[in-house]
């Protein structure tokens, strides 16, 4: 995955900030969605906490879950389901919202559905795959800081 990223390095020039902002906003939107749905459906806080890191890779989501008081094994399962759903539904969602920009597609698939989404992004195109693979790493780093901040913001302990 590093070769396509290297070959498309010019795409990052001048766009790195907007990519980071996009990943951060996307991650925050995912956290808000989980919080609202869990509260609306009466899902236990422990399960909600365990779901929060679902858009990070499995290794990162397990460590985040341990740190924030969630269930690491269940976090890995939620992460896997998220990746598979992103792989299956991601392209359709991008079409539904008429997202045509190759960078946006890659960032969305990588940051929302990590490695399994990146596999789909690689099928779509080299640019999408390159940006998706970069987004996996950035989303993981962002989520390490964003999730505890979000939990504190909404009063989840």
The pLDDT value given to residue 153: 97
List per-residue pLDDT tens for the chain, 157 residues long: 556 666 767 777 778 899 999 999 989 999 999 999 999 999 999 999 999 999 899 999 999 999 999 999 999 999 999 999 999 999 999 999 999 999 999 999 999 998 898 999 999 998 899 889 889 999 999 999 999 999 999 999 7
Instruction: Tell me 108's DSSP state.
Output: H
The pLDDT value given to residue 11: 73
Are 38 and 47 in contact by the 8 Å Cβ rule? The answer is: yes
Selection from 140, 142, 121, 129 nearest residue 79 by Cα? 140
**Whole-angstrom Cα distance, residue 37 to residue 21?**
24
Selection from 25, 13, 82 nearest residue 53 by Cα? 82
Instruction: Tell me 56's DSSP state.
Output: S
The pLDDT value given to residue 7: 74
Are 89 and 70 in contact by the 8 Å Cβ rule? The answer is: no
Burial class (CB in 10 A: 0-12, 13-18, 19+), 57: buried
* Per-domain boundaries in the chain: 2-152
User: Residue 7, Cβ neighbours under 10 Å: how many?
Assistant: 12
The pLDDT value given to residue 4: 65
**Whole-angstrom Cα distance, residue 62 to residue 6?**
29
């Amino acid at each position: 995955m590093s070769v396509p990223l290297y070959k498309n390095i010019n795409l990052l020039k001048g766009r790195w900030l907007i990519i980071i902002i996009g990943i951060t906003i996307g991650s925050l939107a995912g956290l808000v969605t989980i919080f609202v749905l869990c509260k609306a459906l009466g899902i236990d806080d422990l399960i909600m906490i365990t779901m929060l890191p679902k858009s990070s890779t499995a290794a990162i989501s397990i460590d985040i879950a341990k740190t924030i008081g969630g269930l690491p094994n269940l976090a890995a399962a939620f992460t896997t389901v998220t990746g598979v759903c992103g792989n299956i539904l991601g392209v359709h969602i991008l079409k539904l919202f008429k997202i045509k920009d190759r960078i946006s597609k890659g960032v969305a698939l990588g940051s929302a559905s990590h490695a399994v989404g990146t596999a789909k992004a690689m099928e779509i195109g080299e640019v999408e795959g390159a940006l998706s693979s970069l987004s996996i790493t950035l989303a993981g780093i962002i989520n390490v800081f964003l999730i505890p901040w979000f939990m504190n913001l909404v009063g989840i302990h």
